[in-house]
Amino acid sequence: MAATSNWRKTARPFHMSRRKHSSKTTPGRKKNLDLMAESPEDVNKWVSSLEKVINNMHNLSNQKKSEHWIFSCIRKADKNGDNMMTLKEVKHFLRQINVEVDDSYAAELFKKCDTSNSGTLEGEEIKQFYYTLTHREEINVIYGKYAQTEGQMSDRDLLNFLLNEQREQATAEDAHRLIEKYEVDETAKQNNCMTKDGFLMYLQQDDGCILNPAHRSVYQDMNQPLNHYYISSSHNTYLMADQLKGPSSTEAYIKALLKSCRCVELDCWDGANGEPVIYHGHTLTSKVLFKDVIKAIKDYAFKTSQYPVILSLENHCSVEQQKLMARHLVFFLGDALVKKPLGDTMPTNFPSPEALKGKFLIKGKRLNKLDSIFTNNNVIEDGTVSEEDEAAECKENSQKEKPKKSKIKLDKELSDIVIYCKSVHFNSFEHSRENQAFYEMSSFKESKAFNLAETSATAFMHHNMDKLSRIYPAGSRTDSSNYNPVPMWNVGCQIVALNFQTNSKEMHLNQGRFLPNGFCGYILKPEFQRSLSSQFNPNTLTEGSWLKKKIFHVMVISAQQLPKINKEKQKSIVDPLVKVEIHGVRADNASKETDHIENNGFNPMWNKKFQFDISVPELALVRFLLEDHDTASQNDFIGQYCLPLTSVQNGYRHVPVLNKRGDIISSASLFVHLMLLDAP
């Protein structure tokens, strides 16, 4: 679309992501396409049309998504576009959907469906071919066991299934609701029965998913103090790639916020023309204007979650540009910026996420105590403060000799909008207990945090009962890799900051941790991490309320429509295997895997049983990892799904499959049977 010069000056471009990668694009990373329209009306038409397409795709049932994928593959295989399929095209189609069959089987399947003996499949024959291909014996066996009413599953049969297999506290009304919701045959519905097609539809939707449907929305108490929650947090949020020469972009903030990240980082430096900029200091990473970042944060902060966003400032700026930072924050964020404590008296504890809905908190240095707001004591003897731990580390890394403890001049305007997240240096847990106010928080480099979690786990947990802790990756991680966040959550750390721009196992765990509770970016910590009487230590388990021993039975049954790993090689078919991992306290960490299935990514079947002994289920995450087996090199990643053990539903469940970026692969799923039982 051409753009006029007048509109170019005033229009804000809107963004679309496309999946096509150029040779310069990092593999697996989306490339952005910026579009510009000639008028605001055209922008609105584009946006509303794209949103409609996206919403329609999101609202497709799993069965419709599966059919859409199957028939799109059929269209690709129909080389001459005559709506008929030859045997050669059938073989091409089977490779498209990740199935390797020998010639005789392909010919047999073709002949079975070619009822007209025309040598091609068309119309109903293609439909029959599809149904033959998608036949699932494991579903037939389960359905046959419980369909005791003239070959169908009556409401009583379905209730029996829900009580005995799914272990749900179900009633007859629940069975009626499921039939009404999922049954596709009107006659069966009128007779309060569920056909096999309706049963499969139920298993493939939210009610039959591994994630407890009640946890898809906010279900936890959101009125506890802020420090009682794990908070989804990012590090170097501005970066799209590595920390040496990668691009900085407002797009990185948008992506993180849309993933419900509730704490973003802003590395602030003096920029040209008096305007502060954000980038990774002393490197070749590109720069982005501070004010542009604040605008983007304002626009996207509460699209996915209404709960508060913390802006973690790493301040390297001169006083003059700090003044501008403060003014930009106040101007662009307006009333959403918390500029004074809630209430009329000096608080003794944090407000809750519920009380801070739609609000922004600034984390940074402050020149005086918070109670000065109420005592009118604004006298500041010295306008300098010690640098942030991470900022000081950044400076140390850029200099040959380690300097003495760095000091910076701090602007009062910027200081005054730091309310609940005043940054202070950590000395010891004893020092913090005796000297730190609740709103004074420390940042820990990963190495220091992991050492404290290993040697002083209970003290660390008690520290986090009334204060916030932020953990950040070591500066040596120039490739923007991540540390394991689980040990940090195990000691109650709230702001466990990860590089959101890096697709990694650690980010999968983070996504899993924050998947329930409406994906709002806040998860209430277990009671034993909030109670002052608790002596919980994740490294050496003792008796206590945290010890709720369980046995977790997992049967990996089958998978459906797994994606091809190497799409360039038409004959490349995956040899899938499944790993089931438990991530939690040290005693619970475990991993078990199935054998691999040769040349079948379409409907591989394992029927493999595993058992895991769980001691602290409230801290455990379960992760399903699908890999393409390779005897000569490391297995290739196919997909994964992670969630807290406490959000797992028992029984026969479909598990969604996510790609490396954490996006759902709509056509793929894993079928399992799960049982979480009290240990004898």
**Domain harbouring 620, CATH code:** 2.60.40.150
pLDDT at 69: 60
> Which pLDDT belongs to residue 511?
97
Where b means 16+ CB within 10 Å and e means fewer, 453-488 reads beebbbbbbbbbbbbbbbbbbebebeebbbbebbbb
Closest-CA residue to 426 (of 471, 371, 457): 471
Residues 6+ apart with CB under 8 A from 183: 189, 193, 194, 195, 198, 201
Q: Does the pLDDT of residue 355 top 70, yes or no?
A: yes
What is the predicted pLDDT for the residue at 299? 96
Q: For residues 417 and 362, is the Cβ–Cβ distance under 8 A?
A: yes
Instruction: Give the span between the Cα atoms of 571 and 543, in whole angstroms.
Output: 56
Residues 496 and 385 in one domain: yes
Mean pLDDT of 330-347: 96
Tokens of 200: 């499969």
Torsions phi, psi of 163, nearest 5? -75, -45
Q: What is the pTM of this model?
A: 0.84
Residue 628 annotated as binding site: yes
Nearest Cα residue to 515 out of 626, 619, 652, 647: 647
Structure-block tokens of residue 380:
């500041």
> What is the side-by-side order of every strand in the sheet holding 576-583?
590-593, 576-583, 621-628, 636-644, 651-658, 664-678, 550-560, 605-614
Strand 440-445 relative to strand 84-85, pairing: unpaired
* Contact partners, residue 278, CB within 8 Å, separation at least 6: 238, 248, 266, 267, 268, 269, 287, 288, 289, 290, 293
Distance (Å, whole) CA 201 – CA 178: 10
CA distances 288 to 265, 297, 430, Å, are 13, 13, 41
Local confidence band at 40 (pLDDT 50, 70, 90 cut-offs): confident
Amino acid 571: pLDDT: 57
Amino acid 6: pLDDT:
34
Judge whether 466 is annotated as a binding position: no
Domain containing residue 377: CATH number: 3.20.20.190
Higher pLDDT, 406 or 455: 455
Per-residue pLDDT for 640 more than 90? yes
Calculate the dihedral angle through the C-alpha atoms of 561, 566, 570, 573, rounding to the nearest 10 degrees. Answer: -50
Look up residue 518 and give its DSSP letter. G
For residues 566 and 661, give the distance between their C-alpha atoms in angstroms, rounded to a whole number.
17
**Catalytic residue (choose from 235, 328, 462, 583):** 235
| pLDDT, position 380 | 61
- Report which of residues 396 and 380 the model is more confident about: 380
Backbone angles phi, psi at 96, to 5 degrees: -60, -40
Whether 75 shows a pLDDT value over 50: the answer reads: yes
Residue 152 has pLDDT above 60, yes or no: yes
Comparing 101-110, 535-544, 548-557, the range with the smallest average pLDDT is 101-110
Domain membership of residue 492 (yes or no) is yes
Same domain, 401 and 439: yes
Selected residue with higher pLDDT from 288 and 26: 288
Taking only the tens place, the pLDDT of each residue in 168-213 is 999 999 999 999 999 888 999 999 999 998 999 899 889 999 999 9
Q: What pLDDT, on the 0 to 100 scale, is given for residue 289?
A: 95
- Placement of tokens 């509460």 in the chain: 302
Mark whether 259 and 375 lie in a shared domain: yes
Query: Does residue 124 or residue 174 have the better pLDDT?
Result: 174
Instruction: Single out the residue of 73, 69, 86 nearest to residue 125, CA to CA.
Output: 86
- The reply, when asked if residue 265 is annotated as ligand binding, is yes
549 annotated as belonging to a binding site for a ligand: no
Question: Quick one: how far is CA 675 from the chain centroid?
Answer: 25
The share of the chain scoring above pLDDT 90, in percent, equals 63
pLDDT interval class at 5 (50, 70, 90): very low
Which candidate in 215, 228, 280, 583 is catalytic? 280
Tell me: the pLDDT tens digits for 451-474? 999 999 999 999 999 999 999 999
Check if 215 is active-site.
no
Q: Is 216 annotated as a binding residue?
A: no
Over residues 338-347, the mean pLDDT reads: 94
Q: 211 - beta bridge partners?
A: 648
On the question of pLDDT at 133 being above 80, the answer is: no
- Say how far residue 597 (Cα) sits from the centre of its chain: 29
* Residue 344 counted as an annotated binding residue: no
pLDDT classification of 377: cutoffs 50, 70, 90: low
What does the pLDDT read at residue 65? 61
Q: Based on the domain organization, do 349 and 233 belong to the same domain?
A: yes
Same domain for 378 and 521, yes or no, is yes
Q: Tell me what the mean pLDDT of segment 289-301 comes to.
A: 96
Domain shared by 281 and 149, yes or no: no
Per-residue confidence (pLDDT) for residue 579, from 0 to 100:
98
Q: Are 364 and 316 in contact (CB under 8 A)?
A: no
292 is in an annotated binding site: no
469-472 and 440-445 as β-strands: parallel, antiparallel, unpaired?
parallel
- How far is Cα 452 from Cα 478, in angstroms, rounded to an integer? 24
What whole-number distance in Å separates Cα of residue 533 and Cα of residue 111?
72
Q: What is the pLDDT of residue 122?
A: 83
Q: Is residue 543 part of a domain?
A: no
End residue of a domain, out of 81, 98, 133: 133
Name the domain count of the chain.
Answer: 5
Indicate whether 17 and 124 sit together in one domain: no
Out of 17-21, 328-332, 521-525, 651-655, which region has the weakest mean confidence (pLDDT)? 17-21
* Same domain assignment for residues 387 and 401: yes
The answer on pLDDT for 85 being more than 90 is no
CB 232 within 8 A of CB 243: no
Instruction: Calculate ∠ Cα 363-382-424, nearest 5°.
Output: 30
What's the distance, CA 23 to chain centroid? 27
pLDDT band at 76 (very low <50, low <70, confident <90, very high): confident
Residue 421, H or E segment: strand 421-423
Q: Does 326 reside within a domain?
A: yes
Least confident window among 38-42, 73-77, 542-546, 550-554:
73-77
Distance, in Å, from the CA atom of 280 to the CA atom of 501, rounded to the nearest integer, reads: 14
Q: Is residue 540 part of a domain?
A: no
Tell me: is residue 140 an annotated ligand-binding position: no
Domain shared by 574 and 489, yes or no:
no
Residue-level pLDDT at 476? 84
Token pair of 399 as six digits: 């200099």
Report strand pairing: 550-560 vs 384-386: unpaired
**What's the CATH code of the domain at 169?**
1.10.238.10
Q: How confident is the model at residue 71 (pLDDT cuts 50, 70, 90)?
A: low
Does the annotation count 280 as an active-site position? Answer: yes
- Asked if residue 237 and residue 193 are part of one domain, the reply reads no
| 236 belongs to an annotated ligand binding site | yes
The answer to whether the beta carbons of residues 225 and 350 sit under 8 Å apart is yes
CA dist., res. 232 & res. 509, Å (int): 11
Residue 109 confidence (pLDDT):
78
Please determine, for residue 30, whether its predicted confidence score (pLDDT) is greater than 90: no
Higher per-residue confidence, 284 vs 673: 673
Residue 632 lies in a domain: yes
Instruction: Identify the weakest region by mean pLDDT among 122-131, 275-284, 291-300.
Output: 122-131
Is residue 542 included in any domain, yes or no?
Answer: no
Average pLDDT in the 253-274 region?
95
User: C-alpha angle with apex 135: 178 to 205, nearest 5 degrees?
Assistant: 30
Q: Which of 101, 133, 165 is the last residue of a domain?
A: 133
Dist. CA 566–CA 98, nearest whole Å: 11
Q: Does 270 show up as a binding residue in the annotation?
A: no
Q: Hey, what long-range contacts does 335-342 have (CB within 8 A, 24 or more apart)? A: 336/298, 336/360, 337/362, 337/417, 338/362, 338/417, 338/419, 338/420, 339/416, 339/417, 339/419, 340/373, 340/419, 341/370, 341/373, 341/419, 341/420
Q: Is residue 82 predicted with pLDDT exceeding 80?
A: no
Burial class of residue 128, CB neighbours in 10 A (0-12, 13-18, 19+): middle
Helix, strand, coil abundance in the chain, percent, nearest 5 = 35, 25, 40
User: Is 268 found in the same domain as 163?
Assistant: no
The stretch 384-404 carries a mean pLDDT of 56
What band does 142 get if pLDDT is binned at 50, 70 and 90? very high
Q: Which of 80, 107, 133 is the last residue of a domain?
A: 133
Domain interval for residue 457? 226-529
Q: 416-464, pLDDT tens digit by residue?
A: 999 999 999 999 999 999 999 999 999 999 999 999 999 999 999 999 9
Q: How far apart are CA 412 and CA 572, in angstroms?
A: 63
Tokens standing for residue 143: 């359905």
Does residue 534 fall inside a structural domain?
no
Same domain, 261 and 304: yes
Distances from the Cα of 372 to the Cα of 47, 341, 361, 380, 418, angstroms: 48, 11, 18, 10, 13
Helix axes 155-164, 172-182, angle to 10 degrees: 110
- Confirm or deny that 103 is annotated as ligand binding: no
- Flag whether 214 is in a domain: no
Mean pLDDT of the chain: 87
Nearest Cα to 145, choosing from 675, 677, 673? 673
Yes or no: say if 597 and 575 are a contact pair by the CB < 8 Å rule.
yes
